[in-house]
Structures are given as C-alpha cells and as structure tokens.
Amino acid sequence: MIFEKVNNITHKEDFIEKILIYIRLVEVLASRNNLVVPRVKDVTSAMIIEMSDMGIIDDSNQLPLLKKTLGDNYMRFISAVAFYLENKGLYLDKLDKLNNKKRSILQQEESNKNKPTMVDFFAGAGGLSCGFTQAGFTVKFANDFEDVCVRTYRYNHPELPSSKVLKEDIRKIVNNIEDYVSEPIDIVVGGPPCQGFSSANQQRIIDDPRNELYKYYIEAIKKICPKFVLMENVRGMLSVAEQVVEDYKSIKIEKDGQVFTYMISYRLLNSMNFGVAQSRERLIYIAVRNDVAEKKKITPETIFQEIEKECKKSKHCNLSAALEFIQPLEAPRIKGMTETDDKKTGMKINANEYDSCGNEYLKEVNGGRQLPYVFNHKARYCSDVNYEIFRRLEQGEDSTSPKIADIMPYARRNGIFKDKYFKLFADKPCRTITAHLRMDCLSHIHPYQVRSITPREAARVQSFPDDYLFLGAYLKTYMQIGNAVPVLMAKKIANVIKKYIV
C-alpha cells in the first residue's frame, strides 16, 4: 500500500512527503475554487475512519504519535482531511492514490480484467510501464534499485500493489522470481544498464563484468518464459548487438513438456518518429517466443516493420508544443529555493490554469483529459553569470557564441564544453533529455524565457502526462525523467505487440 501505519514507519521522509502531497492537493484545488481550508482543532470519528482508510492510523490512540511525527504539519493535515470530507464532490478521485483502501479496490478491479500482462525490470520512474498501461497492459511486477524511482512508480501506478513494486537488486530477485511472478506473463520489458562498451579488444564485450545486470535480465527471462521480450538501451549498445542476439538465440526453456526458444531482432529507433517532442535514439530489441511466432505467423522483423509503418502516421512534434499552455516562470536568483514553492518561480504542486489539451501534442500526452493540477513545474536556480548567458544566447547557439565570449566561464575549454550551454530550438524536436540534467540544465535553456527548462517541461518532452508526479528531491526529479523511456514511444510499440497477444 502507499502508506505505512504511523507506528510502523520504515521511511519517515517518504511518509511525510506523501502527507505534504495530500495537503497540497487539498489546498490547491480549494484555492482554485476560491475556497479556504479552515483550521480545525478536533478530530472527528469520520476523520479517524478516513485516516484509517488512508492507512495512516488504526485508531484514535495513534493520533499523538501522528502529531509528533508530522510536527508543524499536523494541523494542516487534519484540516485538509476535514475539508476533503466536507467537499468530496470537489475532489472526486483526485486523492485516491493516497488512500490504501481505494487503491486496494482499484487493484482488485484490475486483477479481474482480462488484459495482457507484463513485468518491468529496471523500471525507473515508470516510463515504459506508463506507455504500456496506456495501451491496455497490466503490470504484474516491477522493480528498480533506486529508492526514489520506486516511490514515484508506486504513487503513479495505484492499480499495482506496492508489494509488487520492489526496491531490490535484480541479482537478489532472479533466484526466487516465482515468489513475485506466479502467473503467465505476456511480455517482459526493461533496460538493463550496460556499460562495458569500450573494451573493443575483447571477443565478447557483453561479458564484461560491468554488464552483469544484463546477464541477470536474461536469467529472469528464462525463469518467466514470456511470450515477448522488449529490451531497450542506449545507442552505444550497438557495438554488442550481435552478441545480445547470440544470447537470446541460445535460450532454451523446458516447461510443461515443451522446449521454448526465442527469435530476436533490433532497431535503432528515434522517439521523434513516434510523435514525441524530442530527438532521442534508443536501441530496441524485440524477442518472440517460438510457439507464438509460429501460431501468429510473425517474426521480430515483421513487428518492427509494423512499428515503422505506424511511425509514418505520426507527425514530428516540435519543442514549442510541449512548452505551450503552462505557467511562465522566472528563475530563482537565490540559492536554496529549489524546494521552496513560490508563485513566480513555480511549485511542486499547483493549480492548472491552462488548457491540458491546448494543442494536439498535449491532447495526446494527457489522454484528452482536463487536469486540475500541474506537477513539478519549478524553475531552477540561476546565477548572475548564467542569467546573462541565457539572456544573450539566441536559439540554437551554444558555448562558442561570440555573444558570451567575454563572460563564458569555460572559454579555454570550448572543445570539451561546447554543449555546456545550449539554448533550445522552439521549432524543432528537443534535444535528448538526459539524467545529467540533475547536475545542471545549462544544456537545455528555455527558448523564450531566461532560465533552463523545469522538470515538468522535461517530462512533457518525454511525453509523460501532466498529472504524473515525480517524488523526491528536486534534482532527483530530473534524473528520473532523464532516464525514462518516452511514454508515447512505449505506448505505440505496445499497441503493435498487443495485437499478437489478445
């Protein structure tokens, strides 16, 4: 479940963050409707029941501990609960992700639906899962080793029990994978980290110890025996692509009196060809189990051909579409404001005063929904020097521009730091969003405003819907977004594969 009981907290920071999210969701929507959340002092029996349903307490005896845990936020929280109970019609399902009982009902409903099933290894914040679920798949198990990614995934995927989103090293999962995955799985997806590409003198680069996690991914496939496998990775993995093919072709699984093998192919695909507002190349492998290939008369090659055919129906989308219909912001000029909400510099959770479907790109990204909130739209701190650089540069200009030669901090090292500063083109797909944005965003300067792009703008470029909330510290939101597979890309690949499952 999303909440632990207050007397059994294992991650206090996570517990408090979700309480603060609840408070903001209540307060923001109240303010949007010109209402004020009044402070309450007494906790009613109805409030006890609501907090119990949320999974925070068992009964009123735990209120003193809750007050001690939340400190100054206790009064805001119980006031938010009281206001929600009096105004349920205003919120409808907007707080359901923070309610254990409602999540449990949703999970039961999901389990009764006859949907294609999937497992997501190295799931990160859930880009692949988000795209596949939008295409009609149901996730049965997901894992990642990064705590904040698991927290984000759990929050945004209420249809999946939190116990099925595991924070663990895959090396500790594979040997007892049946404890987590006990039913037939249609597809296993994931992007195992592979780093040993530089050792070109080795006959089997993929056997580099740095690529150990990839090997465990292969072992997981052998244990699960899915109908399909989708593996994604960076362009650099092309150097070992044929070795990966060898590994998949060597898989032989004896199960229920049958021997299962896999056919596999790969393509270097660019997200902009899927209608994503970003040029981002990913190496995609698709494997098909032999019995499925024979029954459906398909090969990985024919699936890729269908994917490429679908891509031709998608229009290239420029960065400008992702940056429309969202609040203009100013960059904070004082350090330490990244975790501080501010009307001018942005907020982690704010009311959405714009059209969620204001253009075709946003309409597709947000699924045609009008969303009352916008998440993670907070500008990043900008120093005086960087502010002046941002102001002077024109779209498409970088560190070598003569306009900033007199103030460029890395002028003597432009050969190395040419892309240290780059002002994005508005009328082209965005350059690749990367996890490096957590270090600095100088390579992704907003084309119109004197600042770098916000996490929400980066998430839009990655085609995440505006109500996909990234948890954790501000800089880690960039990391989660940068490591993700673009949602629309995942969805359109999933739609093709789904035809051969249902």
Q: How far is CA 75 from CA 12, 50, 86, 95, 360, in A?
A: 18, 16, 17, 19, 43
The SS3 assignment for 481 reads helix
The SS3 assignment for 106 reads helix
The SS3 assignment for 127 reads helix
Take residue 73 and report the two structure tokens written for it: 């936020």
Q: How far is CA 133 from CA 159, 299, 320, 330, 472, in A?
A: 10, 24, 27, 35, 23
The residue whose two tokens read 């960087």 is: 386
| Catalytic site residue from 130, 149, 194, 225 | 194
Q: Which helix (H) or strand (E) holds 480?
A: helix 474-482
DSSP, residue by residue, 27-90: HHHHHHTT-------PPPHHHHHHHHHHTS-SSGGGHHHHHHHHGGGHHHHHHHHHHHHH-HHH
The answer to whether the CB of 485 falls within 8 A of the CB of 285 is no
| Dist CA 157 CA 159 (whole Å) | 5
Q: Which DSSP letter does residue 424 get?
A: P
- What is the chain's percent helix, strand, coil content, to nearest 5? 45, 15, 40
The answer to whether the CB of 465 falls within 8 A of the CB of 487 is yes
Q: How far is CA 231 from CA 237, 288, 461, in A?
A: 11, 12, 22
Q: Which helix (H) or strand (E) holds 392?
A: helix 384-392
What residue type is assigned to position 23 of the chain?
Answer: I
Take residue 129 and report the two structure tokens written for it: 């899962």
Q: Catalytic: 194? A: yes
Q: How far is CA 235 from CA 80, 173, 270, 410, in A?
A: 48, 27, 10, 28
Q: Which residues are catalytic?
A: 194
